[in-house]
Amino acid sequence: METFDLGTADVRELNRRLQRRSGNAAETAFEVLNPMGRHSLAVGLMHTLDVWIRGHAGYYCAGMNERANVVVDGNAGVGVAENMMSGTVRVRGDASQSAGATAHGGLLVIEGDASARCGISLKGADIVVGGSVGHMSAFMAQAGRLVVCGDAGANLGDSIYEAELFVRGTVESLGADCEEKEPSAEHVRDLQALLDRAGVDADAGTFRCYGSARRLYHFKVDNAGSY
């Protein structure tokens, strides 16, 4: 495992090394020391490699990830795993706002809580939160799944499209065009597989399911005054 110490090296040097790593099998695992909340750590990774960040990360950690597996041994700032395409990002602490924003694929696991707008404009990734999420989570979520093992704040799933939301705890309120749905046996089976993959010890049958009521898909002249 190669070690990067951000106490002596800068973030650009780290990202350049990760992005340009050679095909040498000995260079597929990296450990990042002393991150100290720096922004844009391990961004734009397009190779299969493992990155362990030993401490707290700042804004946009593991953004635009593709193929890599990134673990943050601490908390993460705004926009962790933003626009992720594939791979896995795991935050062992809490995450700030907009975790997994616009993520197209892959798996984001937040073992603690996530703040507001978790999964905003989600486009196909899976997000599993071990704790609770803040207000406006899954706002305009288009595809993918957001799984919350704790509670959800106000306006969950506001203006949602076809993403699937699962919450084990309480929901403060649902956003526009979001409604509770009866989960099918297939939903429960697939959710259990996702929980197992995320390393979460929970029974899929204890979660409630939410999705789009599909009332906002088309313009209705009777509602013109509200638009």
3-state secondary structure of 180: strand
State the pTM of this model: 0.94
Rounded to an integer, the average pLDDT of 56-76 is 97
Rounded to an integer, the average pLDDT of 43-53 is 95
Topology (CATH level 3) of domain 2-226: Pectate Lyase C-like (2.160.20)
In the chain, alpha helices (H):
11-19, 185-198
Tens-place pLDDT, residues 169-201: 999 999 999 999 999 999 999 999 999 999 999
How far is Cα 57 from Cα 80, in angstroms, rounded to an integer?
9
The per-residue pLDDT for 121 is 98
Percent of the residues in the chain that have a pLDDT greater than 90, as a whole number: 89
Domain boundaries, the chain: 2-226
How far apart, in Å, are the Cα atoms of 19 and each of 66, 169, 207?
11, 39, 39
